[in-house]
Structure 1
Amino acid sequence: MKKLLLLFFTVSFLNSGAIYAQSDWVSLFNGKDLTGWFIRGKATWAVQNGVLVGEGGMGHIYTYTTASDFEFKGMFRITGEKTNSGFYFRAVPPENNPDGFPRGYEAQICHNQDAHTGWLWKPGTPTGKAEKLITKDGEWFSYKIKAVGNNITFWINDELVMKYEDDEYQSGYFAIQGHNPGMKIEAKELYYKNLKKDNSLSKQEKESGWKLLFNGKNFNGWRQYDGTKMPENWVIEDETMKVHLGKGKKPGQGANGDIIFGDKKFKNFELSIDWKAGEMANSGIFYNIRETPGKKIYYAAPEIQVLDNENATDNKIDSHLAGSLYDMIAADPGTVNPAGFWNTVVIKVQDGKVSHTMNGRKVVEYTLWTKEWDELVQNSKFKNFPGFIEGVSKEGYIGLQDHGYTVWFKNLKIREL
């Protein structure tokens, strides 16, 4: 997530749905409504007198904002019967039960058990010990969390209570838990500060073989598909790659602006891209591109759909929604953040086995060059495409689509397998 400098409480649509900022601190909660949050489970969530309130049973409320390295600060109060809650970070809903306990880290909020407020929990397991309990039911207290790499630190009421090293979860949403009927969790003044620079690699990523495809400054390595230069409707904006409506075009009409990373072809790899859709946006991410003069980028390449699922005109078919293998296999739309919020998609290709992971949840799996693949093609719009009849290439370029809408991309990185 990019750092924001927003003065006088200026509303920002372009940066992950954050509502306000205090210098580098970015607000997760606007004090008015649940903008920027989504709900899973049975707990009910509302805003009362500027406070985020959860009650009614088990469930979680997640931010659309994701983070890896960050600082967080917020105020919490818990009341009622059998009080138990927590603040999650680097967390995602579990794939097999989206309403269940998140996969990620939890800063515990509970005053009636040994692994109490201040402990670090992993799913179902107390992990990092808090030295002492300094809070109690019915009283507001401050939580501060810092997570950088595998170092996790908690402060309560500005007092250091927990330090732990763990690297199981690298990135994810923030979330608040409702646990038991009869209890209430309240939260306010929720801010975070991004500590990870966009378009950069950590030491661990470098050691794991990740390489950047975009440096945040220029289009080095990129060019027009079936061309030599970058199309005019691609620009660098706030260290992102932005495609917008081409000159003289109507929404939905590309300006011959499909692009590829032309420095190298890839065969077995893991590709990670952050993308953000503008209103009604439609685009795509392609791999194994076979660049054929006079043919389109989708002539013989699989496409991972990029879409404003709510407002795009092409949102009537399940397999046309974001994260899907376009027109073949539908992804779960519940994993996709809406227009104006960043998403992270990871595409893994190894010996023909392919998976799409959207915001930490695997949503599509298939295998190229198999009978099942041939059936997918035959049941799609590509059944009569000469390139798909000839077959998807064993290796190829990575590409991004210009479909006549505004879309942003950043943190494009790849590692060969």
Structure 2
Amino acid sequence: MFKITKRRKFLKQSAIFLALFSITICSHAQSETASTMEFPFNGKDLSGWKTVGGNAPFYIEENSIVGVMTKNTANTFLVTEKEYGDFILQMEVKLDGTTTNSGIQTRSHIDPKGNNGKGRVYGRQVDIDPTPRAWTGGIYDEGRREWLYPLDLNPAAKSAYRPGEFNDIIIQVIGNETRTWVNGIPTSYVIDSLDKTGFIALQVHSIPDSLDGKRVFFRNLSIRTNPKFPRDFPKDIYIVNTNANDLSKAEKAAGYSLLFNGKNAKGWRSARGKKFPEKGWSIQNGMFSVQKSDGGESTNGGDIVTKKQYKAFDLSFEFKLSPGANSGVKYFVTLDEKTKGSAIGPEYQILDDALHPDAKLGKDGNRTLASLYDLITSDRNPRPRRPIGQWNRGRIVVEPNNKVTYYLNGFKMLEFERGSEEFRKLVAGSKYKDWKNFGEAKKGHILLQDHGDAVSFRSIKIKELK
């Protein structure tokens, strides 16, 4: 009797499960039918497309759209006449040689007055880059903010592109999120609220004369519009989120948290005491701001530090400088030194290199923007540096093995190993030589510096690494 009753119970539970499973499948199918697969290139002609921006020609060859790089012309784009919102775009791309460049515009627009009336395209572009830099799949903001996601942020994806072959590119744009894959390898992830809709375009890049006649091939284009089920993306790939003081669902799932909520000083205090400074700092419009004083180090409100101390971490922050300003982000700050000026700790230098005299002090520029202050000079490539008055994105990654890497606007600027022989030699030749075991604390506070100049911070977020 017991066995019969148990079997009936099992059969009843199985029937309920199958009914629920059937409902789920039907619901999934109904949702998926709301999306539509389109093939914007018919393989025969360029119906539904138009050329803007430059004079480089496009033609059809063996079911491919071929763009020809042409000297003495601006960037040229083959633009869809239709605009798109949410979509998953897939295509294959091949370029002649390894010194050329191309790109795929998403949700983009055109300024008809640009390029002497030929039109200037602007919007997010997925880069196709077979050069040694190898940033294929990175995201560039054409005609506006430039690089949003250089592949320095995901070096494992640099090897995804195969020169001289057709490469499979997948671009997923859903809501305010753009994700890319190159030959099946997850490549970049940007969260950005600009451009809810726009056209898709294929780029022929402007070139030096030596590349005249080189070609780029696009084939097997398909677009699934209004996709309901986004492709999975690994949690360990860094996300660039341009929305101020925002922490996305994906960032939370990856272990990030906000150190500044954009509203108050929760989690922060003065480096000189237990409370937040009563003067010298303001919290307005989603920004922590150092108020202008005399340009002296920690002479007004003083430095502020996190109440919590950190060991290994991935720290991101945005900063905006006023002309001639100086500041910094420090870490492994123990506050044991009891200094009169700024507290002691390794520093990510924040500086107007052109106008502040500190840029010419130190050794070989090791007090310039994004340098390890007074120790290691940052990469001097000018492209990562955005103009004074604009927001810049800094990042400091301290790994459990003591490797430290600095980034500026996604570009890798330097790296070093805390406690290594090379690091200790640098310290011995610097202003920090008198501080025992400088930069080698097991844990410490994160600090925003008051150097008496007007500087603002926002979007401060951290992930603790283990």
Instruction: Determine if the TM-score, normalized by the shorter chain, exceeds 0.5.
Output: yes
| Cα contact 1:240–1:409 (8 A) shared by 2 | yes
Deviations 1:142-201 (A, max 9, x none): xxx87622468xxxxxxxxxxxx9963124999x87344569xxxxxxxxxx99641121
User: Residue 200 of structure 1 is aligned with which of 246, 256, 267?
Assistant: 246
Structure 1 position 129, deviation (Å): 8.7
Q: Give distance in 2, aligned partners of 1:407 and 1:363.
A: 21
| Cα contact 1:92–1:361 (8 A) shared by 2 | no
Structure 1 position 267, deviation (Å): 0.1
Paired position in structure 1 for 2:307:
263
Over 3 Å counting, the alpha-carbon distance change for 1:299 and 1:229 in structure 2 is: closer
Deviations 1:369-390 (A, max 9, x none): 1211110101212112x3446x
| Cα contact 1:150–1:167 (8 A) shared by 2 | no
Q: Give distance in 2, aligned partners of 1:229 and 1:307.
A: 27
Q: Give distance in 2, aligned partners of 1:411 and 1:129.
A: 26
Over 3 Å counting, the alpha-carbon distance change for 1:209 and 1:96 in structure 2 is: same
Paired position in structure 1 for 2:458:
410
Q: Does 1:292 find its partner at 2:336?
A: yes
Structure 1 position 336, deviation (Å): 1.9
Letter in 1 for 2:189: Q
Superposed, 1:165-314 pairs within 5 Å as 168-171=187-190, 178-180=205-207, 181=209, 197-231=243-277, 232-246=279-293, 250-292=294-336, 294-295=338-339, 300-314=344-358
Superposed, 1:11-410 pairs within 5 Å as 72-75=108-111, 88-89=124-125, 97=133, 104-105=138-139, 125=167, 127-128=169-170, 148-150=176-178, 168-171=187-190, 178-180=205-207, 181=209, 197-231=243-277, 232-246=279-293, 250-292=294-336, 294-295=338-339, 300-317=344-361, 318-333=365-380, 334=382, 335-351=384-400, 352-384=402-434, 386-388=435-437, 392-410=440-458
Structure 1 position 226, deviation (Å): 2.1
Q: Give distance in 2, aligned partners of 1:44 and 1:146.
A: 37
Over 3 Å counting, the alpha-carbon distance change for 1:273 and 1:58 in structure 2 is: same
Query: Aligned residues: percent identity?
Result: 30
Over 3 Å counting, the alpha-carbon distance change for 1:298 and 1:387 in structure 2 is: farther
Letter in 1 for 2:371: S
Over 3 Å counting, the alpha-carbon distance change for 1:281 and 1:72 in structure 2 is: farther
Deviations 1:238-264 (A, max 9, x none): 211111223xxx234542434344331
Deviations 1:192-217 (A, max 9, x none): xx996411211110000001000111
Q: Give distance in 2, aligned partners of 1:107 and 1:300.
A: 38
Q: Give distance in 1, aligned partners of 2:136 and 2:264.
A: 37
Over 3 Å counting, the alpha-carbon distance change for 1:195 and 1:169 in structure 2 is: closer
1:235 aligns to what SS in structure 2?
Answer: strand
Over 3 Å counting, the alpha-carbon distance change for 1:86 and 1:238 in structure 2 is: closer
Paired position in structure 2 for 1:53:
none
1:375 aligns to what SS in structure 2?
Answer: helix
Q: Give distance in 1, aligned partners of 2:204 and 2:319.
A: 28
Q: Give distance in 2, aligned partners of 1:372 and 1:245.
A: 37
Q: Give distance in 2, aligned partners of 1:269 and 1:290.
A: 16
Higher helix share: 2
Structure 1 position 353, deviation (Å): 1.1
Q: Which runs of 5+ in 2 are unaligned?
A: 1-70, 75-98, 116-120, 143-159, 195-202, 214-239
In angstroms, what is the RMSD of aligned CA positions? 4.4
2:388 aligns to what SS in structure 1?
Answer: coil
Q: From the CA coordinates, give the structure whose radius of gyration is larger.
A: 2
Letter in 2 for 1:279: P
Structure 1 position 59, deviation (Å): 7.5
2:307 aligns to what SS in structure 1?
Answer: strand
Structure 1 position 58, deviation (Å): 6.1
TM-score by length of 1: 0.60
Q: Tell which deviates more after alignment, 406-415 or 295-304.
A: 295-304
Q: Which runs of 5+ in 1 are unaligned?
A: 1-42, 47-56, 62-69, 80-84, 109-121, 131-144, 153-164, 184-193
Deviations 1:308-359 (A, max 9, x none): 1222221114111111000110112422212111111111112311111111
Q: How many residues align?
A: 297
Deviations 1:91-127 (A, max 9, x none): 7999964xx866514799xxxxxxxxxxxxx967452
1:413 aligns to what SS in structure 2?
Answer: strand
Q: Give distance in 1, aligned partners of 2:185 and 2:416.
A: 32
Structure 1 position 396, deviation (Å): 0.4
| Cα contact 1:92–1:360 (8 A) shared by 2 | no
TM-score by length of 2: 0.54
Paired position in structure 2 for 1:138:
none
